[in-house]
């Protein structure tokens, strides 16, 4: 027994090819990335003075600015609500078309999904910049941006929900010869309504956060004031805006989380 030899392992494992390979890849990427981005730890610490100065000024919020930003804050929430609603409404038919258990035409489904994937690649601020160019400065651009952004997000969440439904009631209706719309209305919708509302609220949370910065590019809401205060180096105003935004976002999150827990 004492002469037991440790069995030889395959050379891939013996020389740790995989872990070493991955470590090398990541190291190379890290070095390349830091060269490309000019990351320099020293520079950060050299300029630490300016950074702390900024933090100090932000730590003294100008509370008298609060009444000024109340209206834009409301506007931000209103934009989020409208944008999410419009986006979600448009998302429903597309979600149905993209669901593999409802649409058996593989081509149609593939095209719809590709389209949804493409919509989802666009970052919200980029959309905002384009729509500000089209619609001009104001909340219209914001609402349209949020609508498109939520359309991409909601449609994917929705079709994934639809694909998990119980097909029993559907087949029952199909067997008595009901048409597609009737089937969706009576057999699909009741099963997914709660999940839909829950995801709608989740997207709304997300959009409230997003809408606070859209204004930075002129798409309405509190972001307009954020940009103004930053441009004027008025950091005590910036601080008030950020704190107020935090309160609003957390309040919406709280309400929405509570509703979602009740729903599911």
Partner 1 sequence: MQTTISKKPATLTLWRRWNWLLWIAIVAVIYTWAITGLHFTGLQESAASVSRSIVHGLVQPDWPYVYNGSGEDLVSLILQTLAIAFLGTIISSLISVPFAFWAARGGKEWLHVRSGSGKVVLTLIRTFPEIVLAIMFIKAVGPGSYAGVLAVSIHSIGMLGKLFSEAIENMDRGADEAITSAGGNSAQIFMLATLPTIMPEFISYTLYRFEIAVRSASILGMVGAGGIGTPMIFAIQTRNWPRVGIILLGIVLMVLLIDTLSEQLRKRLI
Partner 2 sequence: MDKTPIISFKNVNKVYDNGTVGLKNINFEIPQGEFLVVVGLSGAGKSTLLRTINRMHEITSGEIRVEGESIKAYKGRSLRLLRRKIGMIFQNFNLVKRSSVAKNVLSGRVSYYATWQSILGLFSATDKQKAVQALQRVSLAEKLYARADELSGGQQQRVAIARTLMQDPKIILADEPIASLDPLTTKTVMDILKRLNQEDGITVIVNLHSVALAREYADRIVGLRAGEVVYDEPIADVTEADLNRVYQTV
Q: What is the DSSP string of 5-55?
A: PPPPPPHHHHTTHHHHHHHHHHHHHHHHHHHHHT--HHHHHHTHHHHHHHH
Give the interface segment with partner 2, choosing from 2-10, 36-44, 46-54, 118-126 (CB under 8 A). Answer: 2-10
- Which residues make Cβ contacts (< 8 Å) with residue 191, sequence separation at least 6? 165, 166, 169
What is the smallest separation between the CB atom of 7 and partner 1, expressed in angstroms? Answer: 22
- Which residues make Cβ contacts (< 8 Å) with residue 62, sequence separation at least 6? 234, 236, 237, 239, 240
Give the interface segment with partner 2, choosing from 4-12, 77-85, 87-95, 200-208 (CB under 8 A). Answer: 4-12
Residue 7 — φ and ψ, nearest 5°? -60, 150
Provide the mask over 11-50, with x wherever binding to partner 2 is found by CB under 8 A and - wherever it is not: --x-------------------------------------
Closest to partner 1 by CB, 124 or 187 = 124
Cα(30)–Cα(39) distance, rounded to whole angstroms? 11
The item of partner 2, partner 1, none sharing an interface with residue 39, based on CB under 5 to 8 Å by kind, is partner 1
In the region spanning residues 6 to 35, those forming contacts with partner 1, defined by CB under 8 A, are 26, 29-30, 32-34
In the region spanning residues 102 to 141, those forming contacts with partner 1, defined by CB under 8 A, are 117-118, 121-126, 129-130, 133-140
The item of partner 2, partner 1, none sharing an interface with residue 9, based on CB under 5 to 8 Å by kind, is partner 2
Determine contact, residues 145/219, Cβ cutoff 8 Å: yes
Cα(124)–Cα(114) distance, rounded to whole angstroms? 19
Count of CB atoms within 10 A of residue 54's CB?
A: 13
- String of b and e for 10-34 (b: at least 16 CB within 10 Å)? eeeeeeeeeeeeeeeeeeeeeeeee
What is the smallest separation between the CB atom of 18 and partner 2, expressed in angstroms? Answer: 12
Closest to partner 1 by CB, 172 or 259 = 259
SS (H, E, C) 46-57: HCHHHHHHHHHH
The separation between the first and the last C-alpha atoms of the chain, rounded to the nearest angstrom, is 60
Cα(125)–Cα(215) distance, rounded to whole angstroms? 9
Closest to partner 1 by CB, 5 or 50 = 50
Among 51, 110, 168, 190, binds partner 1 (CB under 8 A): 51
In the region spanning residues 206 to 235, those forming contacts with partner 2, defined by CB under 8 A, are none
The item of partner 2, partner 1, none sharing an interface with residue 121, based on CB under 5 to 8 Å by kind, is partner 1
Give the interface segment with partner 2, choosing from 5-13, 66-74, 104-112, 178-186 (CB under 8 A). Answer: 5-13
Binding residues (CB under 8 A) for partner 1: these are 26, 29-30, 32-34, 36-40, 43-44, 47-48, 50-51, 54-55, 74-75, 77-79, 81-82, 85, 117-118, 121-126, 129-130, 133-140, 143, 209, 212-213, 216-217, 220, 226, 230, 238, 242, 245-246, 249-250, 253
């Amino acid at each position: 027994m004492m002469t037991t030899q440790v069995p030889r392992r395959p050379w891939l494992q013996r020389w740790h090819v995989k872990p070493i390979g991955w470590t090398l890849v990541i190291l190379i990427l890290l070095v390349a990335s830091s060269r490309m981005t000019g990351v320099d730890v020293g520079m950060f610490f050299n300029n630490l003075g300016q950074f702390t100065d900024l933090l100090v000024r932000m730590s003294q919020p100008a509370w008298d600015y609060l009444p000024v930003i109340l209206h834009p804050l409301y506007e931000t929430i209103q934009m989020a609500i409208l944008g999410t609603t419009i986006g979600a409404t448009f998302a429903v038919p597309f979600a149905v078309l993209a669901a593999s258990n409802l649409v058996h035409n593989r081509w149609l489904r593939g095209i719809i999904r590709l389209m949804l994937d493409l919509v989802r690649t666009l970052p919200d601020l980029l959309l905002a910049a384009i729509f500000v160019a089209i619609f001009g400065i104001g909340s219209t651009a914001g609402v349209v941006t949020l609508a498109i952004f939520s359309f991409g997000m909601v449609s994917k969440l929705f079709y994934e929900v639809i694909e998990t439904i119980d097909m029993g009631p559907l087949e029952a209706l199909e067997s008595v010869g009901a048409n597609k719309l009737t089937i969706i209305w009576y057999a699909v919708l009741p099963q997914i309504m709660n999940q839909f509302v829950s995801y709608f609220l989740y997207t709304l949370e997300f959009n409230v956060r997003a809408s606070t910065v859209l204004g930075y590019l002129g798409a309405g809401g509190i972001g307009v004031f954020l940009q103004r205060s930053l441009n004027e180096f008025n950091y005590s105003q910036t601080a008030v805006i950020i704190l107020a935004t935090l309160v609003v976002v957390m309040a919406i999150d709280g309400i929405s989380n509570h509703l979602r827990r009740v729903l599911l």
